[in-house]
């Protein structure tokens, strides 16, 4: 469960500069979200999930998902007592979805719209 207020949208230009080493030539970040220590980057080519691991967060996993590999996705909105919203993304060849939790600080509908724009191309 995420802590309230720790999820937020990040300026795409700033995220592009911070994670420039992950981007291919000419690739641009169009949207970015910070979830406690994890980061989501929506580029013009793929979804990049940045997962800080361990107590210190020095170990980091960079998960690159080409939009064409996403078979489907689902969002679960926050409820009255459950303050978190969830995003589930299924990638071809893997029956287990990638799951991320968002607090009410992020508009899950906006995240869904961005993902729809890329997946439905």
Distances (CA, A) of 102 to 23, 61, 78: 24, 19, 9
Confidence of residue 4 (pLDDT cuts 50, 70, 90): very low
Tokens representing residue 46 in the block: 């793929």
Confidence of residue 107 (pLDDT cuts 50, 70, 90): confident
Which DSSP string corresponds to 25-61?
TT--EEEEEEETTEEEEEESSEEEEEEEETTT--EEE
Confidence of residue 82 (pLDDT cuts 50, 70, 90): low
pTM score, two decimals? 0.83
């Amino acid at each position: 469960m995420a802590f309230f207020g720790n999820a937020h949208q990040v300026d795409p230009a700033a995220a592009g500069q911070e994670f420039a080493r992950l981007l291919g030539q000419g690739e641009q970040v169009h949207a970015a979200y910070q979830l406690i220590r994890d980061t989501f980057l929506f580029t013009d080519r793929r979804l990049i999930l940045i997962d800080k691991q361990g107590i210190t967060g020095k170990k980091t996993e960079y998960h690159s998902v080409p939009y064409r590999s996403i078979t489907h996705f689902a969002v679960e909105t926050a409820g009255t007592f459950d303050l978190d919203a969830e995003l589930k993304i299924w990638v071809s060849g893997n029956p287990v979805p990638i799951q991320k939790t968002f607090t009410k600080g992020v508009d899950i509908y906006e995240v869904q719209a961005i993902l729809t724009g890329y997946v439905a191309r």
